[in-house]
């Protein structure tokens, strides 16, 4: 039986593209919300879940860092998707036929130059793939969608213009989640370990907690803070480091971190994607 991987959004979304690129052998399962995608994996309805965590242009995905620790799932891999935006229209139409384009407001903002040059008005849609589906259903040759080529393929739209985004390096990072942790060493480019922690209420606790990574030569690639439970005093931190918890240097750094924290939880250890570079 084909295994499934859950994602938030409609078929043709960039999260769907991430599923196809990272796990082409699996069947992609669209879900209405991030919580639904997490629950599909947690309940066994899907083997894995594909969750976006950050974008190179717009930063971290809202709410994801609070959802991950509560998900009951483990990070087993990461995936990077280059967000190429395309102008999709009804079969047989030309760019000159298009007077308005529909998409998520974020994508509309990323294609200002192209849309302005061609005199195309912007229509805000709920999401990218949904906009492509709606354009196909509407049947108006003057209305196009901004979405992935995958969305065009699924909803029978022609690609009228490829890669029309203003910035040429827009990339989204995804985490692949599983019910079971995988602590094995794998991949050819090293390992990444992701964890969350909350420092003790003592002076310079964060500074002292971070010292173990510096003195042991462990590279921390991400450190973000976020409030817990609406409190202005309880702050959790989300971190990515290079290495495996069993590496001697990483083990020493985590032991030192544990001394200065009230809570420390490893969310996953997984292969480092070379596209980080």
Active site positions, annotated: 172, 174
- C-alpha 80/C-alpha 173 separation (Å) is 5
Alpha helices in 216-268 (DSSP H): 248-259
- C-alpha 12/C-alpha 231 separation (Å) is 38
CA 12 to chain CA centroid, nearest Å? 15
- C-alpha 8/C-alpha 46 separation (Å) is 13
Q: Which long-range contacts (CB under 8 A, 24 or more apart) does 69-74 make?
A: 69/196, 69/236, 69/265, 69/267, 71/38, 71/42, 71/177, 72/42, 72/179, 73/38, 73/41, 73/42, 73/49, 73/177, 73/178, 73/179, 74/177, 74/178, 74/179, 74/180, 74/181, 74/182, 74/267, 74/268
- CA angle, 67 then 68 then 74, to 5°: 150
Tell me the CB-side half-sphere exposure of residue 201, using CA atoms within 13 A. Answer: 3
The number of residues in the chain equals: 277
For residue 135, the SS3 value is helix
Alpha-carbon separation of residue 273 from 159, 175, 182, 186 (angstroms):
30, 11, 16, 11
């Amino acid at each position: 039986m084909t295994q499934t991987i859950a994602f938030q959004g409609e078929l043709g979304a960039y999260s769907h593209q991430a599923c196809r690129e990272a796990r082409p052998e699996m069947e992609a399962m669209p879900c209405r919300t991030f919580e639904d995608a997490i629950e599909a994996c947690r309940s066994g309805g899907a083997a894995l879940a594909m969750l976006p965590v950050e974008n190179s242009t717009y930063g971290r995905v809202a709410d994801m860092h609070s959802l991950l620790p509560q998900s009951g799932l483990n990070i087993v891999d990461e995936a990077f998707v280059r967000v190429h935006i395309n102008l999709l229209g009804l079969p047989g139409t030309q760019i000159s036929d298009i007077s308005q384009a529909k998409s998520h407001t974020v994508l509309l903002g990323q294609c200002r130059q192209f849309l302005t040059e061609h005199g195309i008005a912007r229509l805000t849609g709920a999401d990218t793939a949904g906009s492509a589906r709606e354009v196909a259903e509407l049947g108006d040759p003057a209305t196009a969608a901004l979405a992935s080529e995958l969305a065009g393929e699924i909803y029978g739209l022609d690609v009228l213009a490829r890669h029309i985004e203003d910035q040429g390096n827009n990339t989204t990072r995804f985490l692949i989640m599983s019910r079971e942790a995988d602590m094995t060493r794998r991949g050819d480019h090293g390992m990444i370990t992701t964890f969350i922690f909350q420092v003790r209420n003592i002076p310079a606790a964060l500074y002292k907690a971070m010292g173990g990574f510096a003195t042991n030569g462990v590279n921390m690639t991400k450190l973000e803070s976020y409030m817990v439970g609406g409190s202005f005093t309880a702050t959790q931190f989300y971190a990515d480091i290079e290495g495996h918890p069993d590496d001697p240097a990483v083990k020493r750094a985590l032991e030192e971190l544990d001394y200065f924290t009230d809570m420390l939880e490893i969310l996953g250890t997984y292969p480092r994607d070379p596209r980080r570079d």
